[in-house]
Every structure is written in C-alpha cells, then in structure tokens.
Amino acid sequence: MIPLFDLGRSHDLLRDQFHDVLDQVINSSEYVLGSTVNRFEREFATYCGSDHAVAVNSGTSALHLALEASGVGPGDEVITTPMTFIATAAAISYTGAKPVFVDVDPDTWNINPQMIQKAITPRTKAIMPVHLHGLMANMPAIMDLADQNGIVVIEDAAQAHGASINGRRASTFGLVSGFSFYPGKNLGALGEAGAVVTNDSVVAERVRLMRNWGSPERYVHDAVAFNYRMDGVQGGFLSVKLRYMEAWNAQRSLIANKYTTAFTNAGIKCPTVPDGYVHAFHVYAILVDDRERMRKAFDRKFIGHGVHYPIAVHRQKAYEFLGYSKGSFPTAESLAEKFFSLPIFPGMQESEVDLVIQTVLEEIR
C-alpha cells in the first residue's frame, strides 16, 4: 500500500519535539498567540525572505486578511484563476468583492498573464494568482501588468512554501501573500493554521489588528474585525517543522525528477518547471486521457491518487451566480478532466516511486 500522502512518516521522528512544545505551552499558558507564535513569525518571514509574517488560524483567513489589508472591498473585482481550491475565490467573496476568472496556461497550469489585460475593468482592484501545486505563477509578467494598470497583487502561496523564481521566494513579488499550514501542505501544523507574509509594514500592521478583534490593546477596538489568531501550540509545532522544510522539499524534488524522467520518455504531460523556477511539488500531477482506467489500476494496487482539482471553480454550484458556463475557460476545464495526482511526500521510498512509475506506464501503454 502506498498512500497519496503520509504525514506519519515525518511526524514519528518529531514526536519528542512536539511533546516539548506541548509542555512549554502548558507551562507558559500562552495558548493563543504568545511567544511560540512570535518566534515562528520571525522564522517564517526570514525563510520567505520577507520582512513580516503575521500568523493566523488558517490559509483562508490569511487570504481574507491579505485582501482586506490591500483595500479590497464591496464593489471591487479581483482577477484570479478558476483552477484552484475553492478557498481562493471564497476569500475574495468574504470581502464583498467579486472573483473574475481568467483561464490558465496549458503548460504551467497557472493563470495566463496574456489573458489578464482584457479582464481588467475600472472596478479591478487586484490580481490574485495562485501558485498551483507549488509552481509559482509568472510573477514578473503579472507584476508588470499590475503596475501598468495601477492594481495590487496578492499571492495565494498556500501550496508554495519554498517555491521561487530566480531565487526570489513566493511572497516577495506581490504586495502581500497568504500561506496555509493545513497539515497536508509542505509546511503543515498539527491542525489549522496560516500566515500573511509581506514587505509592507502598513499592511502587516493592518493584518495584526484585523486578526485580533481590531484591538490595538485589550478591550479597545478600532475596527469590526475577526478572531483569526493562531494557537500557541501550532506556532511551536511549526517552528519545529520549519527546520526540516528544506530537506523535505529536496526529497519532493528528487521524487518529482524521477517521475518526470520516466514519464517524459513515455510522452506523458508532466509538470513544467520554467527556467529559473523552483517548484515546491506540493502536488505532482500528470495529465491522463482515461482517468477512470488509471484510477482503477491504482486502486487495484492500493496506491493512493488524487485530483487537484476535478471541478474548476467557475463550474461549482457555489459560483453559479457569476454567470459563467461550460466552455468559459476551456483550458481549466480540460485540466479538471485530465489531472491525476501521484503520491509524493517526504519519506516516500524509492521502491514506492518505482511502483508508481510502473503502474502509470502499464496503463498508458
């Protein structure tokens, strides 16, 4: 049996350190925010190469506050990709703004910068690219477009811890970005968690205010805000795991390279990694025409698999009201039918990688 993702293999080795974190938090009684969270904020900002990280209770909250602090609100439009997890669009909706989708590039699977310009209207306030599967969107092109049009860029970096373009990590291009530390992400908490990362000190201050009841000091409230604070234990757990991030991402990269070598030779469409890009390989997906057949072959051998994502956001019932239809974004729709995610996680054995490759090749042939 090979799982799609096995957290147990990395967490088993960290059990003692996790227990130390629990002891520390029980001793200090800092259950919400506090010193473990402050420390993790500094460490994560440094890891990203950004000035500020503000810890929150989920990636979705991080995106919501990143948008709010960028001035996005009712009546605004935010351009994003339909090939993402629903949270991207939901965060836009929470602000009262409207998601406006732009189709993705058939090669990188990220928002197509060449198609953004014609989606810009006088109401467009921001672009929110998603670094799908851990490959960064074409940020140089997106930043140029945004600058020319006087709009801000908010990165959905929920899948992109450690991804970079020419040495610049996710979060260092846009005005502000949101990360998720959902357990299954490349850096995951032992529960829900997220962070807003930015170089802008005004944005960072606004996010700090809004995650904690708009409260600059206890029982003083400057804005109607949220309870989006990170737990003390999650900050401690994340600091422990951050020390292993580089090694874990390197393991993902080795597995991905093995997959890509085997599949490229067989003519299978694999993740593209443009020159100068480092892919974080949160997900490793291939495109298959007969997904049902592949799924059955994997099930027979008890090999995990997934689809990220089977329904483009504009085709979800939740976003019917936007008025898009089948055919609105043909590339995203075609990917939704063909994506097939393979097991990839730190601690995955070489023999397991080989078995996945063999299973894929047998079915494609």
Ligand X SMILES: *Cc1c(COP(=O)(O)O)cnc(C)c1O
**Residue ranges that bind ligand X, judged by CB under 6 A:** 58-60, 84-85, 87-88, 130, 156, 158-159, 180, 182, 194
DSSP state of 121: -
For the CB of residue 88, give the shortest distance to ligand X in the complex, in Å.
5
Q: Tell me which amino acid residue 33 is.
A: L
Residues shown for the chain:
365
Residue bearing tokens 């708009």: 214
Q: Can the peptide bond before residue 244 be classed as cis, meaning omega within 30 degrees of 0?
A: no
Measured CA to CA in angstroms, residue 90 lies from 63, 81, 167 at distances of 9, 12, 31
Contact 327, 95 (CB under 8 A): no
For the CB of residue 317, give the shortest distance to ligand X in the complex, in Å.
19
For the CB of residue 9, give the shortest distance to ligand X in the complex, in Å.
21
Q: Tell me which amino acid residue 121 is.
A: T
Q: Compute how many other C-beta atoms are within 10 angstroms of the C-beta atom of residue 199.
A: 18
- The continuous run of DSSP H or E covering 143 comes out as helix 139-149
Contact 301, 287 (CB under 8 A): no
For the CB of residue 302, give the shortest distance to ligand X in the complex, in Å.
26
For the CB of residue 54, give the shortest distance to ligand X in the complex, in Å.
14
Nearer to ligand X, 33 or 158 (CB): 158
Nearer to ligand X, 182 or 324 (CB): 182
For the CB of residue 135, give the shortest distance to ligand X in the complex, in Å.
12
For the CB of residue 185, give the shortest distance to ligand X in the complex, in Å.
6
Nearer to ligand X, 94 or 263 (CB): 94
The residue at minimum Cβ distance from ligand X is: 59
Q: Nearest CA to 313 among 116, 98, 123, 119?
A: 98
For the CB of residue 300, give the shortest distance to ligand X in the complex, in Å.
29
Nearer to ligand X, 82 or 194 (CB): 194
Nearer to ligand X, 94 or 259 (CB): 94
How many Å separate Cα 350 from the centre of its chain? 26
DSSP state of 196: E
Nearer to ligand X, 41 or 156 (CB): 156
Q: Compute how many other C-beta atoms are within 10 angstroms of the C-beta atom of residue 249.
A: 22
Nearer to ligand X, 98 or 282 (CB): 282
Nearer to ligand X, 242 or 361 (CB): 242
Q: Which long-range contacts (CB under 8 A, 24 or more apart) does 240-243 make?
A: 240/14, 240/17, 240/18, 240/21, 241/10, 241/14, 241/187, 241/188, 242/40, 242/43, 242/44, 242/47, 242/187
Structure token digits, residue 233? 């234990």
